[in-house]
Structure 1
Amino acid sequence: MAGSSNGRVVPAAYPPPVDSPREFIKRGLDPEDELIEVGVAIVGGGTAGLAAANRLLQLLADDPELMESLGEVPVAVLEKAKTCGGHTLSGAVVRPEPLQELYPDMTREDWRKEGFAFGEVTKEAVYLTPTSKAKVRIPTPPNFKNHGNEVISVAALARYQQRIAEEQGAYILTETSATQLIVDEGRVVGVRSGDKGRGKDGQPLGNFEPGTDIKARYVILAEGCWGSLTGAAIREFDLDRDREPQVWELGVKEVWKVPRPLDRLIHTMGPWPLKLSSKYGQVGGTWIYPMKDERTGDDLVSIGFVMELEYADATTSVHDMLQLFKLHPLVRGILEGGERVAWGAKALPGGGYWSMPKLSMPGALLVGDAAGMVDTMALKGVHHCINSGKIAGEVIYDALKAGEDSIEIYEEKIENSITGRELYEVRNARQPLQQGMIKAGPAIGMSILSKGKLPPGRLKWHKNDEKGMFIGKTAEIYPRPDNRYTFDKLSSVFITGNATRDDAPNHIRVRRNVPREVAETWKWMCPAGVYEIPEDAPESGNVDVIVNYTNCVQCGAITAKGGRLTTPEGGDGPLYTIT
């Protein structure tokens, strides 16, 4: 039966109204007098894109002749948020080596003074939570060992990297979306910035500003999760040929100011509050990280819940799972007497090595999350973002210096770096999770202990939106918000600083009339309460979907489950500061 799998509804059968790649690819540049010309254009002001900018400008600083040849704007960074890092979120415990290589004159103490680092990991613990009250400490698995790593805020790190880039001569275009990749004769030659000042129906308002072609010798796509230009580039240049499809996870995070410092990093692996049955397909875990703000003296805690977007019960909600998890005595004791000061949500690529597309194309490179460089078995991606950005900057510098057009050497350099080596070692560790946690456990352990040698070969994936959905009873366990420890979605969105104007164009593409199972999936999945089902909608069959797109925090999860997040107007969305 069309649109169903084993009697369940498959979201992929109801694709969104998107004309890709045509919608996101522009053929040829505007006339010279109507465009902006830069040396290198970087799309995305997160840790990966800014690492590329920082490294390239370090090299250009020692080569003034080449710097001058790139014109008045040697490096331009386009960031759709109000500031770099404004849409950036991660756990995050980072391996320090790529940061130390990129900024060799800085010590860890300097990182903390700059406000993006919060302490070295000296103690850690991993627990199973078999019930809502019990906990069982287990030996720390190899992939969860973090001794010597650093707890950081990626939003704050990006703001630091932005400042350094500007001091080095970069032109940072914040509140600027890149809406089209410009391709001419089979080569990427620039990007087009998005229009500003359009109304709900696309009509120009009084403050309308049209987008502009930005011509560049090279483009670096650092859009992070679900970039519209990245997706278009993958299709345009067939970059995912012979690759596995990408799969995704969703993380929801809070930062708390607490009266007592937490002395160790904590991970939990369930099974509570998830359902173990493979029928539900729920796989996930949590983190609790101590954060000491050396500038203010505040003791903070980062707490988050991350889940595979492979689940089958439409009423699964990562936001509500996090609220429930906070009621466990282990967590309650840490947060007791504290105050929630930040919240955010973000999808992340989980496919790893086999799902990474080809990383180069004529005129452009992919870096960081845009390229799928995340090791979800170790909950690590930030150091890969920094490392890939650094390598991209070096490769483009070498190409500019030599006057060569090819930048394919980037593939080899990534493969031989810490990023390629680490992702290769866990290349088959995650795929068993699509069979459920119980069946997956032994295979995952074997893969991690053997560093990828067992099981041999290449394990397959299927896309998350090909999972059949049903309306289960997971939602029955969610707590009612008390606005002290547990909170609803809308109050959470409020503290992100989300400033999307009410009359902005809709940047979310979904079918507006879909089976109830799909509508319920979107309603519960979205951490920002974007999707609603009318109260008078039928209990079965097709229903209409209300899209409150101005709530969106641009986490990207909708694209994994049957919809599509596209680029918003520049300046819209959250303004994360410490996530």
Structure 2
Amino acid sequence: MEFDVVIVGAGPAGLATAIRLMQQAKAANTELTVCVVEKGSEVGAHILSGAVFEPRALNELLPDWQQHGAPLTAAVSQDDIYLFKNAEQASKLPGFMVPKTMHNHGNYIVSVANLCRWLAQQAEQLGVEIFPGFAASEVLLEDNVVKGILIGDMGLDKDGKPKDSFVPGMELRAKYTVFAEGCRGHLGKQLIKQFALDEGKSPQHYALGFKEIWDVPAQQHKQGLVVHSAGWPLTNDTSGGGYLYHAENQQIVVGLIVDLNYSNPHLSPFEEFQRYKQHPVISQYLKGGKRVSYGARAIAKGGLNSLPKMSFNGGLLVGCDAGTLNFAKIKGNHTAMKSGMLAAETLFSALSQGDEGGNDLTGFAEAIKNSWLYDELYRSRNFGPALHKFGTFWGGAFNTLEQNWFGGKLPFTLKDDRPDHAQLKLASEAPVINYPKPDNVLSFDRLSSVYLSNTNHEEEQPCHLKLKDALIPINVNLPKYNEPAQRYCPAGVYEIVQDENNEPHFHINAQNCIHCKTCDIKDPAQNITWVTPEGAGGPNYPNM
């Protein structure tokens, strides 16, 4: 099948690209064929985000969104920020001690999955074709030019042989292909390497973000209340922070973000999240409630210092596939949408002048540099490196000073050039962490959590978690780091099991995978590669 533009991923960036393309075509009274492919079973099935949403890009893209029923109904009414000193104590920070980027007046507590479902409706009304349940497995590359994508075969057994249900893959060819796969995109990662797009840049940095949705009693619910925290349970050499948002319908979303540059191989981000919910500031809202959904996803947080070149022969990278998140705001949806809109304007300008495709649209970089997107990323460029270099307290103090007094424009740039996977200490040099057993009231185990993510993969299919060397987990990672995959995976995918001779084996429960990409990022040997499973596999988030 051939199109003018193929877009990989129906998230905020991909859908904003599609809508803006068709808006321009309609205004110019020209024909344009645009296709969006989405590996989730439906639009929104793989979308997970906090989220406090800044509507700036949406206001530009669809100014009449309120009249058209956009799912933005819970306006932020109160912002509370705490420093958690320990498991019991916390200090609420006054406004002057909080970076102004963390203030949320005018923003909304939203389900980004539901926002994407609504954006998909707007795109389809404009004539965009959206294909959910189809995974883009390969880039069609000819003479170092991207010509489109290959939809993966479906109906293969675990050995890669066709079953009775086999359906061969399909080529989707395009003049230009936009990659909007989200953080650590499978194809985006390949393209960055293929075209050396990150040359001269700091390595991308990541965090692992957890999220749960709780139904709570009416007396504990304050729609519009936003709570953020720093400190406990994360120690000073493990940066990150927690959040709790009061959404509509007596629901609360709660989560913890753990930066993946942590050094202790015994640390379990999942268990840290379970501890976090026990803090009195958090538990007061959850007790008596019921957990109804769980998920986790990696977050690209390197910002401007890690932003690769976003154009190449025949295509563009947008949103979190490139890393446009503004970590100073802990927000990436509005910046992802803006990058998609700028990509659409760049593409339409080229196509309307008769461009037949395959070129490197270098004007995209100029469009970004002249936009508020670049200004935001420039002002927040020191935020993450400051936390990494100085720790939560002093890094936070630096960021408050820079953002509130200097507007993010101090005349120097902090850098963090050590990749996250290279930060682990040896297991013998790091303190062992003994986590409490789940109480099944506020804290839970991995498997019951994964159950709430509605994760499912066709069992008889090739494993989508590829080991470059099958011996490394037992021969290298186990003696050096007590094989951290057992702990950094939020879904219990990786286990060390003993055989009948009491010998250890590395076992992969690929069926549990919630597509967070943490293993692809944090494995110290960079031995695990996440590739797309069959289309529609993975989590099925209802309203994350």
Match of 1:383 in 2: 334
Match of 1:364 in 2: 315
Match of 2:488 in 1: 525
1:189, 1:534 → 2: CA distance?
Answer: 44
Determine whether 1:162 maps to 2:120. yes
Determine whether 1:548 maps to 2:513. no
Instruction: Give 2:215's match in structure 1, choosing from 250, 257, 262.
Output: 257
Q: How much has 1:496 moved relative to structure 2?
A: 1.2
2:500, 2:129 → 1: CA distance?
Answer: 50
Determine whether 1:394 maps to 2:338. no
1:416, 1:289 → 2: CA distance?
Answer: 33
* Contact 1:426–1:447 under 8 Å retained in 2: no
1:486, 1:457 → 2: CA distance?
Answer: 40
Distance 1:406 1:463, change over 3 A: closer
Instruction: Give 1:123's match in structure 2, choosing from 78, 102, 108.
Output: 78
Tell me the number of residue pairs that the alignment of Structure 1 and Structure 2 aligns: 522
Determine whether 1:43 maps to 2:8. yes
Instruction: Give 1:137's match in structure 2, choosing from 92, 104, 129.
Output: 92
Match of 1:480 in 2: 437
* Contact 2:266–2:482 under 8 Å retained in 1: no
Deviations 1:41-92 (A, max 9, x none): 001111110111111112222334x31xx4xxx1111111101111111111
Distance 1:268 1:103, change over 3 A: closer
Equivalent position amino acid for 2:295 in 1: G
1:311, 1:455 → 2: CA distance?
Answer: 28
Deviations 1:193-243 (A, max 9, x none): 111111111111111111122110111000111112111111121111111
Q: How much has 1:460 moved relative to structure 2?
A: 3.6
Deviations 1:342-375 (A, max 9, x none): 1110001011001000011122111110010011
Match of 2:55 in 1: 96
Instruction: Give 2:234's match in structure 1, choosing from 255, 267, 274.
Output: 274
Distance 1:329 1:474, change over 3 A: farther
* Contact 2:499–2:505 under 8 Å retained in 1: no
Match of 1:10 in 2: none
Helix, strand or coil: the match of 2:424? Answer: coil
- Gaps of at least 5 residues in structure 1 are 1-35, 293-297
Distance 1:301 1:165, change over 3 A: same
- Gaps of at least 5 residues in structure 2 are none
Distance 1:512 1:544, change over 3 A: farther
Q: Which moved more, 1:310-319 or 1:487-496?
A: 310-319
Distance 1:126 1:166, change over 3 A: same
User: TM-score, normalization: structure 1?
Assistant: 0.86
1:99, 1:43 → 2: CA distance?
Answer: 20
Instruction: Give 1:462's match in structure 2, choosing from 418, 421, 436.
Output: 418
Q: How much has 1:564 moved relative to structure 2?
A: 2.1
Helix, strand or coil: the match of 2:174? Answer: strand
Equivalent position amino acid for 2:349 in 1: D
Equivalent position amino acid for 1:262 in 2: K
2:374, 2:409 → 1: CA distance?
Answer: 15
Instruction: Give 1:508's match in structure 2, choosing from 461, 465, 470.
Output: 465
Deviations 1:108-136 (A, max 9, x none): x754xx5x324111211101111211121
Instruction: Give 1:60's match in structure 2, choosing from 25, 47, 55.
Output: 25
2:392, 2:414 → 1: CA distance?
Answer: 20
Q: How much has 1:151 moved relative to structure 2?
A: 1.0
Distance 1:143 1:105, change over 3 A: closer
1:91, 1:457 → 2: CA distance?
Answer: 28
Determine whether 1:235 maps to 2:193. yes
Helix, strand or coil: the match of 2:328? Answer: coil
Equivalent position amino acid for 1:505 in 2: P
Instruction: Give 2:244's match in structure 1, choosing from 276, 284, 288.
Output: 288
Q: How much has 1:495 moved relative to structure 2?
A: 1.2
* Contact 2:156–2:163 under 8 Å retained in 1: yes
Helix, strand or coil: the match of 2:297? Answer: strand
Determine whether 1:417 maps to 2:417. no
* Contact 1:267–1:285 under 8 Å retained in 2: no
Deviations 1:8-57 (A, max 9, x none): xxxxxxxxxxxxxxxxxxxxxxxxxxxx1112100111111011111111
Q: How much has 1:455 moved relative to structure 2?
A: 6.0
Helix, strand or coil: the match of 1:520? Answer: coil
Determine whether 1:301 maps to 2:262. no
Helix, strand or coil: the match of 1:302? Answer: strand
Instruction: Give 2:159's match in structure 1, choosing from 195, 201, 204.
Output: 201
Deviations 1:286-330 (A, max 9, x none): 0111101xxxxx211111100100111122222221211111111
Q: How much has 1:183 moved relative to structure 2?
A: 2.1
* Contact 1:534–1:544 under 8 Å retained in 2: yes
Equivalent position amino acid for 2:214 in 1: W
Q: How much has 1:543 moved relative to structure 2?
A: 5.3
* Contact 2:458–2:534 under 8 Å retained in 1: no
Determine whether 1:434 maps to 2:393. no
2:231, 2:91 → 1: CA distance?
Answer: 11
2:456, 2:424 → 1: CA distance?
Answer: 35
1:301, 1:239 → 2: CA distance?
Answer: 40
* Contact 2:152–2:169 under 8 Å retained in 1: yes
Q: How much has 1:535 moved relative to structure 2?
A: 4.2
Equivalent position amino acid for 2:520 in 1: T
Percent identity for Structure 1 against Structure 2: 34
Determine whether 1:499 maps to 2:456. yes
Equivalent position amino acid for 1:481 in 2: P
* Contact 1:289–1:301 under 8 Å retained in 2: yes
Match of 1:31 in 2: none
Distance 1:415 1:457, change over 3 A: same
* 1:185-196 matched pairs, under 5 angstroms: 185-196=143-154
Q: How much has 1:429 moved relative to structure 2?
A: 2.2
1:337, 1:118 → 2: CA distance?
Answer: 25
Q: Which moved more, 1:454-463 or 1:543-552?
A: 454-463
1:321, 1:127 → 2: CA distance?
Answer: 17
Equivalent position amino acid for 1:424 in 2: Y
Match of 1:571 in 2: 536
* Contact 1:251–1:318 under 8 Å retained in 2: no
Helix, strand or coil: the match of 1:545? Answer: strand
Helix, strand or coil: the match of 2:453? Answer: coil
* Contact 2:327–2:383 under 8 Å retained in 1: no
Distance 1:508 1:518, change over 3 A: farther
Q: Which moved more, 1:132-141 or 1:47-56?
A: 132-141
Instruction: Give 2:522's match in structure 1, choosing from 548, 561, 567.
Output: 561
1:337, 1:175 → 2: CA distance?
Answer: 37
Equivalent position amino acid for 2:163 in 1: L
Q: How much has 1:470 moved relative to structure 2?
A: 3.3
Determine whether 1:453 maps to 2:409. yes
Equivalent position amino acid for 2:106 in 1: G
Distance 1:202 1:243, change over 3 A: same
Determine whether 1:79 maps to 2:67. no
Distance 1:395 1:191, change over 3 A: same
Helix, strand or coil: the match of 1:62? Answer: helix
* 1:281-360 matched pairs, under 5 angstroms: 281-292=237-248, 298-360=249-311
Helix, strand or coil: the match of 1:117? Answer: coil
Q: How much has 1:169 moved relative to structure 2?
A: 1.5
Please, what is the CA RMSD of the aligned residues? Answer: 2.1
